[in-house]
Amino acid sequence: MAKTERVPVLVIGGGPVGLALAGDLGWRGVDNVLVEARDATVFQPKMDMVGIRTMEFCRRWGIVDDVYTAGYNRQYIQDCAWVTDLNGYEFGREEFPAPCDERSPQQSPTHRERCPQNFFDPVLARFANRSGRADIRYHTQLVSFEDKGDHVSAVLRRRDTDQEYRIEADYLVGCDGGGSTVRTTLGIPMSGEGTLTYTSNAVFRCRDLEKLHTKNPAYRYIFIGPEGTWATLVAINGRDQWRFSLIGDESRSEVGEDEMRRAIIRAVGREFDFELLSLLPWERRQLVADHYRRGRVFLAGDAAHLTSPTGGFGMNTGVLDAVNLSWKLAGVLEGWAGETLLDSYEYEQRPVAIRNVSEAGDNLRRMLGPRVAKPAPEVFDDDSPQTEAARRRYGDAYTEAMKREWFSIGIHLGYSYEGSPVVVPDGSPMPPLDVQTYLPTGRPGHRAPHVWLDADRSLLDEYGREFVAVRFDPAVELDPLTVAAAAAAMPLRVVDVDDAAAAGLYNGKVVLVRPDGTVAWRGERLPSDPGLLVGRVTGRSRDRAPVSGDRDGVAA
């Protein structure tokens, strides 16, 4: 065995979550090694929507333009339609602009973006490599690991040479997918509903598919027949590649190439020539790991939560995992944070995953509604006035049921770290967690709100590398806080904001925002012991003594 290496963080798994973690760690100056058993090629992209919060992180990392130019046709219309087939009847449609025409909502400086995994992974890999701190090693698999108490010892194998070597890391993070070796080795079970559907995916190439059918272009088509919802079709690159998903049943019968070709032809509604690029059977599952941490080993992404892709929450929840964990690992490695900060990762992210996984499962049930309660036979019989009326009623009901999946800004921006041990509550009531709407709030435990400070500068642009004390009233003296932070080596920067809209959203004269962009504390003035506040938000103290800054007289 080759000589043992030493690294602060070892990341297992080179999908988008592992790459985001390696990149964010490197962006923070933390050396890390990422290992991935496969090469960098993605034959079957498992995600294609980069959510609005993930795009905010891309803005922070300076890679928004890289996402825009990654390869997806940003002029391609993003409508979703439900049809009998592409040359048959259209029950309904939700219209969305092309990505190049998408406008950011007032709550964010960014907007969601279509960028399938085969395009997004290379963007993240280039970002990770840019720091010079991330060492990405493909064709390398994890053989075993052991938590030694003061470090983790892992044995890795180069798949091209079968050479094994050892890495000792301060921390190991398993981003190695649904069948996670890391999670299995730790013996951490997952809870939830297990398998939701058995599905077979096919990626095929067909240039000018739009010319072969009568429907307007769409990013996603849902196919409904007499048996109910039976397949979907998604534009992989907005040009000539498509992902067809054939929904199976509990028989789990393997779908061969001939059967898949017949299904694709049925969906299009005519014979046509196409190139079948890949086939992949998979299971939709709704599971969350019972724990996200054991000792010096953590789970993130699909290793921690498995979800139906309906809604596009899986990868985006995983990137939120990565950003939440990254700054906490950096803080402990740099010596200014305590173990409670690492404990807070599970406390904060697991409830977010439970909410998102459950919502995605409900989206699937709404999409499959016609599969359970099949359409009336007359919907498919003929083109009589009675049939047309039945189709309209059916299509209107289905369209209304699907809106919750299409409009879900509350999932992406409205999450909350309620009760976190490193967040100081101020006694204000918990706002409702709505899926389809999002009202910004400066309440501790929530994402710090976006406000435009000038034409190109968002208040979110101030957050990322350190704690930021946002002062809306220049009369508030912050020297005691900066002194306490310096004494604890906690990175802190003061930002003065003279903006009435921002002050109204944050609703406090001083607001302390964490490196991940979460409000950690707010008050009308500093608490009597700023050192206690610093100890609390950095996880060096579990003391629940009042550090509220006497906000409305409520203690923490």
Query: What CATH code is carried by the domain that includes residue 526?
Result: 3.40.30.120
pLDDT, the chain, mean = 92
Residue 391 clears pLDDT 90, i.e. is over it: no
The predicted model gives 150-163 an average pLDDT of 96
Q: Where are the beta strands (DSSP E) in 217-320?
A: 220-225, 228-235, 241-247, 275-289, 293-294, 297-299, 305-306
What is the distance between the alpha carbons of residues 39 and 140, in angstroms, rounded to a whole number?
A: 9
143: three-class secondary structure by DSSP: strand
**Which class for 182: exposed (0-12), middle (13-18), buried (19 or more C-beta within 10 A)?**
buried
If pLDDT is split at 50, 70 and 90, which confidence band does 44 have? confident
Q: Are 86 and 221 in contact (CB under 8 A)?
A: yes
233: which 2 tokens? 């079709």
Does residue 375 belong to any structural domain of this protein? no
Q: Are 326 and 349 in contact (CB under 8 A)?
A: no
* CA angle in degrees (0–180, nearest 5) for 387-399-230: 75
Judge if 40 and 148 occupy the same domain: yes
Q: Which of 329, 345, 362 is the last residue of a domain?
A: 362
The predicted model gives 83-96 an average pLDDT of 94
If pLDDT is split at 50, 70 and 90, which confidence band does 556 have? very low
Q: Which of 341, 362, 383 is the last residue of a domain?
A: 362
If pLDDT is split at 50, 70 and 90, which confidence band does 555 have? very low
Instruction: Specify the pLDDT at position 548.
Output: 58
Residue 208 clears pLDDT 50, i.e. is over it: yes
Does residue 314 belong to any structural domain of this protein? yes
**Which class for 463: exposed (0-12), middle (13-18), buried (19 or more C-beta within 10 A)?**
buried
Judge if 449 and 338 occupy the same domain: no
Residue 458 clears pLDDT 50, i.e. is over it: yes
Judge if 27 and 117 occupy the same domain: yes
Tell me the per-residue pLDDT of 461-514, one tens digit each, with 9 for 90 and over: 999 999 999 999 999 999 999 999 999 999 999 999 999 999 999 999 999 999
> At residue 129, what are phi and psi to the nearest 5 degrees?
-70, -25
Does residue 215 belong to any structural domain of this protein? no
Output the CA–CA distances (angstroms, integers) from residue 312 to 182, 359, 378, 412, in the order listed.
25, 11, 34, 10
Does residue 217 belong to any structural domain of this protein? no
Domain count, the chain: 2
Does residue 480 belong to any structural domain of this protein? yes
Domain residue limits at 546: 421-553
Which CATH number covers residue 157? 3.50.50.60
Give the pairing type, strands 5-12 and 32-36: parallel
If pLDDT is split at 50, 70 and 90, which confidence band does 303 have? very high
Does residue 403 belong to any structural domain of this protein? no
Residue 332 clears pLDDT 50, i.e. is over it: yes
Residue 213 clears pLDDT 90, i.e. is over it: yes
Residue 157 clears pLDDT 50, i.e. is over it: yes
Q: Which of 311, 340, 362 is the last residue of a domain?
A: 362
Does residue 228 belong to any structural domain of this protein? no
Tell me the per-residue pLDDT of 48-59, one tens digit each, with 9 for 90 and over: 999 999 999 999
Q: Are 338 and 212 in contact (CB under 8 A)?
A: no
Top-confidence residue, 454 or 550:
454
Judge if 36 and 168 occupy the same domain: yes
Q: Are 165 and 5 in contact (CB under 8 A)?
A: yes
What is the distance between the alpha carbons of residues 188 and 190, in angstroms, rounded to a whole number?
A: 7
What is the distance between the alpha carbons of residues 2 and 368, in angstroms, rounded to a whole number?
A: 53
Q: What percent of the chain has pLDDT over 70?
A: 95
65: which 2 tokens? 């333009």
Q: Are 442 and 459 in contact (CB under 8 A)?
A: no
Residue 183 clears pLDDT 80, i.e. is over it: yes
Does residue 154 belong to any structural domain of this protein? yes
Instruction: Specify the pLDDT at position 439.
Output: 95
Judge if 45 and 165 occupy the same domain: yes
* CA angle in degrees (0–180, nearest 5) for 537-541-543: 100
Judge if 122 and 25 occupy the same domain: yes
Q: Which residues contact 291 (CB under 8 A, 6 or more apart)?
A: 188, 299, 346
The amino acid at residue 52 is I
Strand partners, 204: 242, 276
Judge if 450 and 333 occupy the same domain: no
If pLDDT is split at 50, 70 and 90, which confidence band does 7 have? very high
Judge if 315 and 449 occupy the same domain: no
Judge if 351 and 469 occupy the same domain: no
Judge if 353 and 439 occupy the same domain: no
271: three-class secondary structure by DSSP: coil
Instruction: Specify the pLDDT at position 230.
Output: 92
Q: Are 303 and 178 in contact (CB under 8 A)?
A: yes
Judge if 11 and 151 occupy the same domain: yes
Judge if 350 and 427 occupy the same domain: no
What is the distance between the alpha carbons of residues 144 and 37, in angstroms, rounded to a whole number?
A: 13
> At residue 483, what are phi and psi to the nearest 5 degrees?
-65, -45
Residue 376 clears pLDDT 50, i.e. is over it: yes
